[in-house]
Chains A and B, each alone.
Chain A
Amino acid sequence: MNAGWLDWFAQASHALDAAGMDAHTLLTFVLMGVLTMVARSFFFMSDREWTMPQWAQRGLHYAPIAALTSVVVPEVVMTNGQFIHSLEDARLAAMAAGALYFFWRKGQGQAVLGTIVAGMAVYLPLHIGLGW
């Protein structure tokens, strides 16, 4: 690293102090940024030759959809950590509308964009209008 960056960093740090942010918080954010890079590059940071076992390579084909469902399903069927008790929920209706659009278009063209638009077209009136 060269001194220019360090100077820049020190100056930025002073500016932030003036704006009410301390060096400890700034350092935490920088390290979090490094962690973002490390996590996303974890298995290709090193130049060393390294092959994954066959079963692990095959397993990766099921991981992306699993990760998405793991994020999406709790966001749709849970509120504050509790399973929902009512079907009068704007999220369920919006997910159904989005899925209907996607499969009606057979996933062609901008089907994901259409899924968002169809879903929000159902979600916003139900959520803001009816309080679902």
Chain B
Amino acid sequence: MFWHAPYYRHPCFREGAIAQLGIAPGIAAWGLMTGVAMVKLGLGVSASIVMTLVVFAGSAQLATIPPLLGGAPMWVVLVTAFCVNLRFVVFSAHLRHYMMHLPRWHRLTMGYLSGDLPYVLFVQRFPQPAQDEEGRLAQMAYLCAVGSTNWATWLVFNLSGVVLAQWIPSSWGFGFAGVLALSGVLWSLADTRLRLISAATAGMAAVLAAGLPLKLNILVGIAAAVALCLLLEKQVDPVVQEESV
């Protein structure tokens, strides 16, 4: 956590904060437009503020407002939120190998802060879990930095969007900066043939499945891409088997 001195004094904390700040304009614009959209969808300003502070999951926030205001039972709203968040379950399986040396509440706090881009930046910077104490501290300092920088950026701009909603027309399309931010990270991940195949498959599957409710097309895209890559990896890139474990 950012108030944990061994983290914020570590050089990797600074490195992580700078990496996350590089993509902060995208997060900021995205958070701003999410805040605007929440109010435009009909959620009151005070409810929007509480939701922003507590929920901290942009796509889940937007996806649950229509059922919430439409009087759907609470469990429907919660199932919607969890489905939109399912991609994080996949990320957590990956992060597990980096985290298990920490106490549980510490892990849960780090988990709460590990949104999409912090996760991607982190596993890109540290492809393998550290094997010693020093390495683990460096990795957790970095993860803590990207996570808390992302959290702070998101909160400030999402709240600004809620407050400024009445003056910002949705039609300007500033939310697209968020998509561009994701795309920039995407390009930086496209470094092997199998990952390109993964990207192409996921993109096509997600478009074909776009009719599904609750953003389940995202899960269909991930599942199709990972399954195809696992089937193809021996043919395409025999080396991957040794380097990746």
Q: Do A and B bind each other?
A: yes
The answer to the question of A75 belonging to the interface, with a C-beta cut-off of 8 Å to chain B, is yes
CB pair A68–B186 under 8 Å, yes or no, is yes
- The secondary structure that dominates the B interface is helix
Query: B96 contacts which chain A residues (CB < 8 A)?
Result: 43-44, 50, 52
Query: B56 contacts which chain A residues (CB < 8 A)?
Result: 33, 36
The answer to the question of B156 belonging to the interface, with a C-beta cut-off of 8 Å to chain A, is no
The answer to the question of A110 belonging to the interface, with a C-beta cut-off of 8 Å to chain B, is yes
Query: A64 contacts which chain B residues (CB < 8 A)?
Result: 91, 94, 119-120, 123, 189
CB pair B22–A110 under 8 Å, yes or no, is yes
Could you tell me the distance between the alpha carbons of A21 and B25 in the complex, rounded to whole angstroms?
32
Could you tell me the distance between the alpha carbons of A9 and B245 in the complex, rounded to whole angstroms?
46
Q: Which residue of B lies closest to A60 (CB)?
A: B94
Could you tell me the distance between the alpha carbons of A11 and B190 in the complex, rounded to whole angstroms?
50
CB pair B74–A112 under 8 Å, yes or no, is no
Query: B135 contacts which chain A residues (CB < 8 A)?
Result: none
Binary flags per residue of A93-104, CB closer than 8 Å to B gives 1, else 0: 011001100110
The answer to the question of A10 belonging to the interface, with a C-beta cut-off of 8 Å to chain B, is no
Could you tell me the distance between the alpha carbons of A61 and B100 in the complex, rounded to whole angstroms?
19
Q: Size of chain B's interface in residues, with CB distance under 8 A?
A: 95
The answer to the question of B41 belonging to the interface, with a C-beta cut-off of 8 Å to chain A, is no
Query: B189 contacts which chain A residues (CB < 8 A)?
Result: 64-65, 68
Given known A35-B78, A57-B245, A111-B188, contact A91–B89 (CB-CB < 8 A): no
Given known A62-B226, A83-B207, contact A16–B50 (CB-CB < 8 A): yes
Given known A36-B57, A65-B195, contact A21–B46 (CB-CB < 8 A): yes
Could you tell me the distance between the alpha carbons of A91 and B46 in the complex, rounded to whole angstroms?
33
CB pair B240–A72 under 8 Å, yes or no, is no
The answer to the question of B5 belonging to the interface, with a C-beta cut-off of 8 Å to chain A, is no
Binary flags per residue of A15-41, CB closer than 8 Å to B gives 1, else 0: 010011100111111111101110111
Could you tell me the distance between the alpha carbons of A35 and B189 in the complex, rounded to whole angstroms?
28
Could you tell me the distance between the alpha carbons of A56 and B57 in the complex, rounded to whole angstroms?
26
Count class of interface residues, chain A:
35 or more
* B116: min CB distance to chain A, Å: 7
Q: Which residue of A lies closest to B118 (CB)?
A: A40
* B16: min CB distance to chain A, Å: 14
The answer to the question of B33 belonging to the interface, with a C-beta cut-off of 8 Å to chain A, is no
CB pair B179–A72 under 8 Å, yes or no, is yes
The answer to the question of B112 belonging to the interface, with a C-beta cut-off of 8 Å to chain A, is yes
* B128: min CB distance to chain A, Å: 11
Q: Can you list 18 pairs linking A and B with CB atoms under 8 Å apart?
A: A33-B54, A35-B82, A37-B111, A40-B114, A42-B88, A45-B111, A60-B93, A61-B194, A66-B201, A67-B90, A69-B221, A71-B116, A71-B182, A75-B179, A77-B207, A81-B210, A91-B179, A107-B188
9 further A-B contacts with Cβ under 8 Å, apart from A66-B226, A69-B186, are A39-B86, A41-B108, A44-B96, A62-B195, A67-B221, A70-B206, A72-B186, A78-B210, A114-B184
